[in-house]
Structure 1
């Protein structure tokens, strides 16, 4: 795919909307992958291997196990774990464009999911990342194109939202996530590296791996059952 073709495909995606001209500096395959949206009518499914899933100090394990009950983070480390990531666009119950980032890891014993839904704000000026099955945790995301054409995503502050409650997660227990995604022309694969770091405790959790991507027409397939969250938060 040429950059011109990628730019045309991605013209109306939420990711291009928030990145502006920086989107054009991404590798063409990343432009294609992050063109998924209601306007393009495409979904993207990545299939590959997480070469390494790691955990930080032992004291983080109970928090990871608790988060796993709501499909947030992963309760155990591993190597060479098959995984699937599903990026499917839809309109949520509050009328906002949403793209799923649902990752399923085939860990020994039972598969585990790490669910996130990226929601475009009503003004179209930012993307919120809602985590888990009930969207209790939200973070504003910051996107940038790196000089090598890779994509860097950093999370802002986390907020806990439930009913009338809307509070910032304190820095003592909160963390910053950093996602780097690139395309390896030689291997013909996407590469992803994720790290979650607490400002006091240091690295908490992360993974790195590679995958290939395929694209489907959502107007024909729709959103499969179980992919959307149980609860959708109204605040953006």
Structure 2
């Protein structure tokens, strides 16, 4: 199975830094998954006006209101074909925002062959479907920006509830770590949520373990 990032980037996939190429080539063979752990130097949110929206999102693992510095972080990427046969990659991010509190930010990325686009389904029940636009910059880093957003019904998400995401991921040769910078901006309220930091990864072979049930969504959305 070709990885969702190879589908989305096409020939540009080979322009990624070699460490990023392996990380985003996870497709079930030879690597079933890629599990990262590290620290987010900063987790931030926007003004107090954004807090209700973030609290609502936290109920279904879509963003959250807490902020902090030096926040322990894990990210779980596992490849599989979903129940509709679509190449899928999990993006389950866990933030230890307090000694006894963790927050998750869940997504599954699905390659839509008939539309030729990578779709990011957000939340425990794939509550939102977001088209993603990928590119590789001159340093070999991956950049992602979000596009149109839809509910499971296929209806467009109201502007009040949408956010424009910008992501950049790179590999730091000097530190031997992956770097990540994420910013989500609300079209109504301005800066909404984001984080920046670094992590290392380990790869999971398919003969070692199945895809953990905890990283799969509770409901899959057939719409693309």
Fold similarity call, TM over 0.5? yes
Consecutive aligned runs of 4 or more in structure 1 exceeding 6 Å deviation: none
Q: Considering only aligned residues, what root-mean-square deviation do their CA atoms show, in Å?
A: 1.5
1:192 to 180, 187, 197: 180
2:35 to 45, 49, 57: 45
* Higher relative contact order (CA closer than 8 Å, sequence separation 6+): 2
Q: Are the equivalent residues in 1 in contact too, given 2:40–2:71 (CA < 8 A)?
A: yes
Q: Are the equivalent residues in 2 in contact too, given 1:43–1:88 (CA < 8 A)?
A: yes
Q: Deviations over 1:180-233 (max 9, x none)?
A: 000000000000000001234221110001000110112431111311111111
Match of 1:182 in 2: 170
Give the aligned length. Answer: 223
Does 1:82 find its partner at 2:72? Answer: yes
TM-score by length of 1: 0.90
Match of 1:154 in 2: 145
Shift of 1:65: 0.6
Q: Deviations over 1:157-192 (max 9, x none)?
A: 11111xxx3211122331111110000000000000
Q: Deviations over 1:53-73 (max 9, x none)?
A: 001011110110110000000
5+ long unaligned stretches in structure 1: 1-10
Shift of 1:40: 3.6
Match of 2:45 in 1: 55
SS in 2 for 1:166: coil
5+ long unaligned stretches in structure 2: none
Match of 1:73 in 2: 63
Does 1:215 find its partner at 2:206? Answer: no
1:93-104 equivalence runs, <5 A: 93-104=83-94
Say if 1:12 and 1:96 are closer, same or farther in 2 by CA, change over 3 A: closer
Does 1:27 find its partner at 2:29? Answer: no
Q: Are the equivalent residues in 1 in contact too, given 2:30–2:206 (CA < 8 A)?
A: no
TM-score by length of 2: 0.95
Say if 1:219 and 1:128 are closer, same or farther in 2 by CA, change over 3 A: farther
* 2: CA distance, partners of 1:104 / 1:35: 22
Q: Are the equivalent residues in 1 in contact too, given 2:4–2:109 (CA < 8 A)?
A: no
